[in-house]
Structure 1
Amino acid sequence: MPVEANSMIAILPEIVILTVACAVLVIDLYLPDERKDINHIVTIIGLATALGAISLIGSDKVTYAFDNSFIRDPLSDLLKGVILIVTLFTFVYSRDYMQQRQLWIGEYHVLILFAVLGMLIMVSANNFLTLYLGLELLALCLYALVAFDRDSKAGAEAAMKYFVLGALGSGMLLYGISMLYGASGGFFGFAQIADIAAAQGTDNQLLVFGLVFVLIGVAFKFGAVPFHMWLPDVYQGAPMPIVLFLSSAPKVAAFAMAVRILIEGLGGLQTDWGEILIILSVLSFVLGNVVAIAQTNIKRMLAYSTISHVGFIFLGLLAGTAAGYTAAMFYTVVYALMAAGAFGILVLLSTQGIEAEQLDDLKGLSERNGWLAAMMALIMFSMAGVPPAVGFMAKLLVLEAAVSVGLVWLAVLAVIFSIVGAFYYLRVIKLMYFDKPQLEQPLVIDGTATIAISINGLAILFLGLFPASLLQVCGVAFG
């Protein structure tokens, strides 16, 4: 089979997403306002087709395309699947919200689809140029999405902060890439840089400087402390469906970026970047859990919660073992599902004229919609690490990986601050079940959204009871 045909088959999911995005862009021009649902239907079909394409081309074998600039492997298959599933949840949850606010337009679908395309490219990047191309495509779409509600001053302010700080983070990353390019003698491929790192190590000072700047870029995209300053403000200012998308899918792409750069490209310097990740990890779960307690805005609370979860993901990566990488990947997938569910429920709570942004807005939810309250409670228990929800298993695996390499003190510190973090998760459950609702009328939500949140929530319970299937897939990725 010709190389070109192999290349086209390898990027089949990306071709599907690009085709659907362009189709929605054109179709929207000819749709009257009352027929905008067609955009939604075409988008859902496109995402489902892309998932099918991943299943079609997926295998245990590694495939390279476009002169080794693109890679398809078990890791990319799983992470792409998670990104597409979370994006499907985003569109299902946000339908009524966007319709009620006259934001249900083609640009919303197109921007998210192009952001998904950027993430898929990031996940399969096999050199720095491809990675940076996907990253910037994602970033440009997210900047526009954060400011999507043009009547919102908070959204415009958040988008401006995100743009300025995002440009700074991208600049740091690009500067680090340029140093690695020089240190490797003119190579952008992760394999060539890995060979240089293994042969020269810290003797190559330019390589070490490049590592530091690249790691700053990775930490910024994750929102790790001290590069987290954009995260709470962006979460608070952006429309709720955008926060739902921003909090879940891009974290999966950021994890892929960390794996491609740190493990596949700079594995020879694992001792050095592992020490930096220890600092970032400690700062993240300490500051994230402590500051989240003081928040009354639930979007900011979940933003600081995200920062603490990033600390746990780093805890798995810094272990430097296959078990640690598997645990970090498992944690990332689980976190994406939990974030999608938590913000999805907040989207469903935000009816016409009401934004469920404060903790008090969750008061008495069990009386207004018992099933929605049960799903939110399940997600909060999972985020807190309470069994049998999957969050417990995710934390346990990461802690086990840290202990196995002698970082007992770090595991103990993580457990202590997990207990601290349990306070603000349990506070949400207390508000839902033990406080009187501020609004008396029952909360009725769309049947499709009910099915989606049920699948989302019960998947968290199922994976907690039977984690072996997902854990095995994650393990294959790091074979």
Structure 2
Amino acid sequence: MNHWVALLPEVILSLAAMFILMHDAFARASGGGAGADGAAGGGAGDGRMSVDCLVTLYSIAGAFIASLWLMDASAPPDAMIALDGFRVAADTILCGGALLVVSLSRDYLSREGLRSPEFHALILLALVGMMVLVAARDLILLFVGLELMSISVYILTGFVRKNPRSSEASLKYFIVGAFASAFVVYGMALLYGATGTTRLATAAERIAAAPAGGDLLLVAGIGLLLIGFAFKIAAVPFHMWAPDAYDGAPTPVTSFMATGVKAAAFVALLRVLTVDLGGAAEVWKGAVWWLAILTMIVPNLIALSQQDVKRMLAYSSVAHAGYLLVGVVAASELGRSASIFYLAAYTVVTAGSFAIVFHVAGRGDRNQRVQDYRGLGWRRPVLGAALLVFLLSLAGFPPTAGFVGKLYLLRAAVDAGEIALAVTLVLTSLVAYYYYLRVVWKMYFEAAPEDAHTPPPPRPGFNLAIGTCVALILLGGLFPGRIIDRAREALADVPADAPAPGMVVQAEDPPSP
């Protein structure tokens, strides 16, 4: 029963997904649903929210509240499920990103005539996998969460079945994801062979008790696990799938992939490497150092030549994985908290950016080239101003949360003696200024041709969601101290002194009284 309590947020989301699927099945059987390729649910075209959209939003909010309720709980060190600040911080980012994606995707689903119930059910199931992934303290549970997340997103990537690009992106993502999962499973098997346990806390104790560098089985296991996670976070040279998958997927799904999938995989990697496998840092630190260097340099250079805004943001997303890896290499309390802060800011700004991209692109995503943004700042001032803030945050301009996040990552790298990483972070951020500010130049300093596509005025709900993103980015840039302090408190890897009454998750083999 204690395990069910510890997984309460995931249970809420799973039940909501089942309800949406069953509700749609009965509605269609009774003749009340939409056609196979139409948008289902109440009033997609009349401004009213469909039932499945409401259920999705309320269930995500309920899962977030349940995560906060579990904040005061604790678990034995060798429990399968984590009950700590690390998990709450990750759940906050994941639920917040999912709420933004679902809120902003309504217009896209209606415009493209896509079925809403399947979309929302898959979003919920993917979110369940993400939350299991960040809460897992056992290798088997870690893999279950990883696969549930991945399979759901594979389907979402090919959600526009009539679009060949979407089907191609889904197939590429599936093939590469299968290879990544194979690496993860093989790495887990070798870790089990080296430590004799699937429990991460127990494995950490056994690694700390013996020199890790001399155990070839352990070194190979960590290496394969790192390769698998590098695929999931799209780190160079394992990033080749990301631009094509991001470009071909429906834009709300691209936003979900660039925020939720990356956040969940990165938080899991951060916990496993810096906490559970911290005693084997000499094994993985050099490899992660090179991953960070390459992931900051290569995609930023490729993005300079991109003429498609969506593809440019895809390469930008890969580059931001490199910035986040700087915090992993630092392997300190400041490095972890700076990574979480930056990940939260990146999630908000990416969700908002892709929402504006699909709104400007129009039906079929026909208008997403850089040239299509000429004069947007004057034709649609609200959208232009919001995109300006998002691009400045991605580039790292003050007073945005993106600037503060990079500043904390820079400080963590310097404090850890990683001067080369700090210099690379600064120089690649300067390179990124060109392709971000190029869009700003088009919006405000080039006139749109007479036959240019003008996006329709956004609905009030869309403006509210975009405005929330802008406010969060500016508040994070102007008042970062309290947020980063809370992140440090949440991510302090010191176990609780005593469990809260009635909220203890027992391990399979509890210690004797």
Q: TM-score range by the shorter chain?
A: over 0.9
State the partner residue of 2:423.
412
The one-character-per-residue Cα deviations of 1:158-197 (angstroms, maximum 9, x if unpaired) are 1111111110111011111100000012x00111111122
State the partner residue of 2:490.
477
The one-character-per-residue Cα deviations of 1:62-82 (angstroms, maximum 9, x if unpaired) are 3359x8211121111121121
**Compared CA separation, residues 71 and 165, structure 1 to 2 (3 A):** same
CA distance in 2, matches of 1:384, 1:62: 39
Equivalent residue letter for 1:222: I
Equivalent residue letter for 2:176: L
Worse-matched range after superposition: 430-439 or 301-310: 430-439
The one-character-per-residue Cα deviations of 1:428-474 (angstroms, maximum 9, x if unpaired) are 11111112235364630110010000001111011000012321221
Fraction of identical pairs, as percent: 35
CA distance in 2, matches of 1:280, 1:212: 12
Q: Contact (CA 8 Å) 1:64, 1:72: kept in 2 or not?
A: no
CA distance in 2, matches of 1:401, 1:260: 17
Measure how far apart 1:389 and its partner are. 0.7
Larger relative CO (CA 8 A, sep 6+): 1 or 2? 2
Q: Contact (CA 8 Å) 1:157, 1:237: kept in 2 or not?
A: yes
State the partner residue of 2:204.
194
Equivalent residue letter for 2:468: I
Equivalent residue letter for 2:115: W
**Compared CA separation, residues 441 and 228, structure 1 to 2 (3 A):** closer
CA distance in 2, matches of 1:354, 1:189: 46
Matched, 1:457 2:453: no
State the partner residue of 2:251.
240
Q: Contact (CA 8 Å) 2:359, 2:455: kept in 1 or not?
A: no
Q: Contact (CA 8 Å) 2:374, 2:448: kept in 1 or not?
A: yes
State the partner residue of 2:55.
42
Q: Contact (CA 8 Å) 1:93, 1:347: kept in 2 or not?
A: no
State the partner residue of 2:84.
73
Measure how far apart 1:108 and its partner are. 0.7
- Which consecutive unaligned segments of at least 5 residues does structure 2 have? 35-39, 43-49, 493-513
CA distance in 1, matches of 2:409, 2:453: 43
Equivalent residue letter for 2:476: L
**Compared CA separation, residues 465 and 475, structure 1 to 2 (3 A):** same
1:18-37 mapped onto 2 (5 Å cutoff): 18-29=14-25, 30=27, 31-33=32-34, 35-36=41-42, 37=50
Equivalent residue letter for 1:19: L
Q: 1:421 aligns with which of 408, 416, 432?
A: 432
Equivalent residue letter for 1:465: L
* Superposition CA RMSD, Å: 1.6
Matched, 1:255 2:254: no
The one-character-per-residue Cα deviations of 1:277-324 (angstroms, maximum 9, x if unpaired) are 110011001001111101111121111111111111111110121111
Q: Contact (CA 8 Å) 2:41, 2:116: kept in 1 or not?
A: no
State the partner residue of 1:323.
334
Matched, 1:8 2:8: no
Equivalent residue letter for 1:152: N
Equivalent residue letter for 1:58: M
CA distance in 2, matches of 1:158, 1:285: 24
Matched, 1:264 2:260: no
Measure how far apart 1:337 and its partner are. 1.2
Structure 1 length as normaliser, TM-score? 0.95
Matched, 1:445 2:441: no
The one-character-per-residue Cα deviations of 1:36-72 (angstroms, maximum 9, x if unpaired) are 411111111111222222222223x53359x821112
**Compared CA separation, residues 43 and 127, structure 1 to 2 (3 A):** same
Q: Contact (CA 8 Å) 1:83, 1:249: kept in 2 or not?
A: yes
State the partner residue of 2:47.
none
Q: Contact (CA 8 Å) 1:155, 1:237: kept in 2 or not?
A: yes
State the partner residue of 1:58.
71
**Compared CA separation, residues 35 and 212, structure 1 to 2 (3 A):** closer
Worse-matched range after superposition: 432-441 or 299-308: 432-441
**Compared CA separation, residues 440 and 317, structure 1 to 2 (3 A):** closer
Q: Contact (CA 8 Å) 2:20, 2:121: kept in 1 or not?
A: yes
Matched, 1:142 2:148: no
Q: Contact (CA 8 Å) 1:17, 1:46: kept in 2 or not?
A: yes
State the partner residue of 1:373.
384
CA distance in 1, matches of 2:365, 2:262: 28
**Compared CA separation, residues 334 and 64, structure 1 to 2 (3 A):** farther
CA distance in 2, matches of 1:351, 1:396: 36
Structure 2 length as normaliser, TM-score? 0.89
1:15-414 mapped onto 2 (5 Å cutoff): 15-29=11-25, 30=27, 31-33=32-34, 35-36=41-42, 37-59=50-72, 61-63=73-75, 68-185=79-196, 187-200=197-210, 201-414=212-425
**Compared CA separation, residues 264 and 354, structure 1 to 2 (3 A):** closer
CA distance in 2, matches of 1:108, 1:418: 35
CA distance in 1, matches of 2:12, 2:115: 22
Measure how far apart 1:355 and its partner are. 3.4
CA distance in 1, matches of 2:472, 2:256: 18
- Which consecutive unaligned segments of at least 5 residues does structure 1 have? none
CA distance in 2, matches of 1:281, 1:348: 33
Worse-matched range after superposition: 442-451 or 223-232: 442-451
CA distance in 1, matches of 2:332, 2:94: 25
Measure how far apart 1:242 and its partner are. 0.8
CA distance in 2, matches of 1:246, 1:353: 20
Q: Contact (CA 8 Å) 2:401, 2:476: kept in 1 or not?
A: yes
CA distance in 2, matches of 1:64, 1:160: 41
Worse-matched range after superposition: 33-42 or 295-304: 33-42
CA distance in 2, matches of 1:134, 1:35: 29
Equivalent residue letter for 2:299: G
* Partner secondary structure for residue 60 of structure 2: helix
Equivalent residue letter for 2:389: L
